[in-house]
Amino acid sequence: MPDVPAAPRSRWVTAQAEPDAVDGLLSHLEIEPAVASILTRRGIVDPDEAERFLHPSLDHLHDPMRMSGMGAAVDRLRRALADRETILIHGDFDVDGLASTALLARSLICLGASVKTHIPHRLEEGYGLHEDVAKVAAQDGAALVLSCDCGIRSHGVAQLLRERGIDLIITDHHEPDTELPDAVAVIDPKIPSCPYPFDQLAGVGVAFKLGQALSEALGIPASKFQRAYLDLAALGTIADVVPLLGENRVLAHFGLLQLRATRKVGLRALLRRLNLEEKPLDTYHVGFMIAPRLNAAGRLSDARDALELLMTDSRQLADSVARRLDHVNADRQSVEAHMLAEAYQRLADDEGILQEDPVIVLSGYEWHRGVAGLVAGAIRERYGRPTFVLCVEGTQAVGSARSVEEFDVSKAIDAVSDCLIRGGGHAMAAGVTLDRDQIGEFRRRINDYALQSIRPESLMPTYRYDDELAATRISHRLCGELQLLAPFGQGNPRPRFVTRGLNVEWVSLVGRDGWHVKMGLSAGDRSLIGIAWRKGERAHEIQPGMPVDILYTLKTEERRGVVELVPTIEDFRPATTEEW
């Protein structure tokens, strides 16, 4: 494996469960103590709130007409339907944007609309609404452009479309500017004046709301619309890593059930290729198996292949595209591994980055911008610091950022915007474009900003766990109880546990170039086999016969007909009584 600089010592922290709060939940709800303890540690102490969390209902979804701009958007779409106008749907090239585009395109087509779609090419056009959309709309004869998962800051494009007599409806979930683009309707729950009670929807969540509002306005029951499109809503919501709380939890919960039984030919082809057809699905299957294949098209080639898969009704075409996406994803994995190895080498060659900089900024020639975010995420995870990965292309550098909880990278980018061509995104993930000769200045400025806003203890890998378990408490029953808390994801992570003093029976390196560590563990008559992903360079820290502390999540896997408990080890260290 490549030369990987050592990560700083990590912190293991947990919130304390309040016994009275745990007892309060147990007295009102039929749940196990372990579940009650985790809920209270995560701030859910009210029995009614806990009931809604544990038992999501479609009735918990809010009325879409409460969202600003929804009425105007529905009215304009109804006019487009009545006048048989062509509608151009402009999406983004990630899974959220693709799912949003497919959802609105399919629903509008079912209502009789004339629909065209456009997904920009990541490398040739970049993210968001660009002036080219006016040309595309004119070529397609579109009287109305409908944006999905983008457009909230596209003031110039909105003005250009208005000048050319083309109406614009924006649906987005990114942070807006102080002023909104001049459009027929702008729908974004993050608009400060928007009265909608939940502002954490993904782009597909906003699209879902618009589709439902339009359907209801035309006399179609909400339940019928929801049954048809919850699978796409869950796909984009989970893939975009928005908090799986509130409405997102409802969409993910019911959407996963719908995805398993989906009638969409392309999704069925992908499930079949992944050997997931008719199997129970969870957020892991979407986040680590389905979404990467859909994303791979936009990362390395053309995201329109993935949109074609979500739109087609031809099984033959669906099987062909699913196979092609599988091959592209394998290429993506190879490109990512090579680029990550080079990034680690940069860190090894320039020790000052890890020793002095609170924000890691790395750049490279011939790096592929399509995987920059993935590489930034891997480095952020290992070192616990905000990370920018910049791909130098001619006179410019284009890159992605991944951040930590205490550093809003979108606000940081705004603070240094004068040395950028453009940039923006979310608190935890963003993108930037800058002149190549500004990379050094950008690194200095972003770190100066960070030094004023990040506490030193935040600049180390931090693992938050839910409870400390004796080995005897690790059981199939516990694993089953934890499923009440699913679906897991951002804002509702799979419960993490710490178990101390396990005996190491054996250690082996697995995977390409020994990237991962597999270890046999025991305590008394209990034996477990755990896997630690991307921890291969740390295998030397433990030896057979020594006691080890592990921090892990727990799941079951079927191996040769036997269902086994498998700890996914996120961190480990030689057993100690010292506080970390």
Residues 396, 307 share a domain? no
Rg, C-alpha atoms of the chain: 24
Assign 3-class secondary structure to 321-375.
HHHHHHHHHHHHHHHHHHHHHHHHHHHHHCHHHHHHCCCEEEEEECCCHHHHHHH
Is pLDDT above 80 for 522?
yes
The more confident residue out of 561 and 369 is: 369
Q: What percent of the chain lies above the pLDDT cut of 90?
A: 82
Q: What is the pLDDT of residue 8?
A: 75
Mean pLDDT of all residues in the chain? 93
Residues 270, 385 share a domain? no
Q: How many domains does the chain have?
A: 4
Is pLDDT above 80 for 458?
no
Q: What is the pLDDT of residue 15?
A: 85
Residue 42 lies in domain: 16-52
Among 458, 491, 523, residue at a domain's last position: 458
Residue 546 belongs to domain with CATH number: 2.40.50.460
Mean pLDDT of 232-245: 96
Q: What is the pLDDT of residue 3?
A: 66
Residue 282 belongs to domain with CATH number: 3.90.1640.30
Q: What is the pLDDT of residue 578?
A: 55
Q: What is the pLDDT of residue 345?
A: 94
Q: Is 4 within the bounds of a domain?
A: no
Mean pLDDT of 544-560: 91
Q: Is 442 within the bounds of a domain?
A: yes
pTM: 0.90
Q: What is the pLDDT of residue 211?
A: 99
Q: What is the pLDDT of residue 2?
A: 58
Is pLDDT above 90 for 546?
yes
Please state which of the ranges 108-117, 200-209, 385-394, 461-470 shows the lowest mean pLDDT: 461-470
Residues 413, 286 share a domain? no
Mean pLDDT of 395-400: 96
8-state DSSP, 262? -
CA distances (Å), origin 382, targets 8, 74, 253, 537, 550: 9, 46, 30, 12, 16
Q: What is the pLDDT of residue 123?
A: 67
Q: Is 204 within the bounds of a domain?
A: yes
Q: What is the pLDDT of residue 570?
A: 96
Range from 247-256, 454-463, 523-532 that averages highest in pLDDT:
247-256
Q: What is the pLDDT of residue 580?
A: 46
Q: What is the pLDDT of residue 119?
A: 94
Residue 415 belongs to domain with CATH number: 3.10.310.30
Mean pLDDT of 432-452: 96
- pLDDT digit string, tens, across residues 335-369: 999 999 999 999 999 988 998 999 999 999 999 99
Q: What is the pLDDT of residue 577?
A: 54
Mean pLDDT of 150-162: 95
Mean pLDDT of 279-287: 95
Residues 194, 104 share a domain? yes
Residues 452, 469 share a domain? no
Q: What is the pLDDT of residue 5?
A: 79
Q: What is the pLDDT of residue 122?
A: 75
Among 430, 458, 486, residue at a domain's last position: 458
Sheet containing strand 185-187, edge to edge, reads 114-118, 86-90, 142-148, 167-171, 185-187
Specify the DSSP element, H or E, that contains 271: helix 265-273
Tell me the angle at which helices 19-28 and 47-54 cross, rounded to the nearest 10 degrees.
60
Q: Is 137 within the bounds of a domain?
A: yes
Question: In which band, very low, low, confident or very high, does the pLDDT at 483 lie, cut at 50, 70 and 90?
Answer: very high
196: Cα separation from own chain's centroid: 23
Structure tokens at 105: 């395109």
Structure tokens at 4: 């990987």
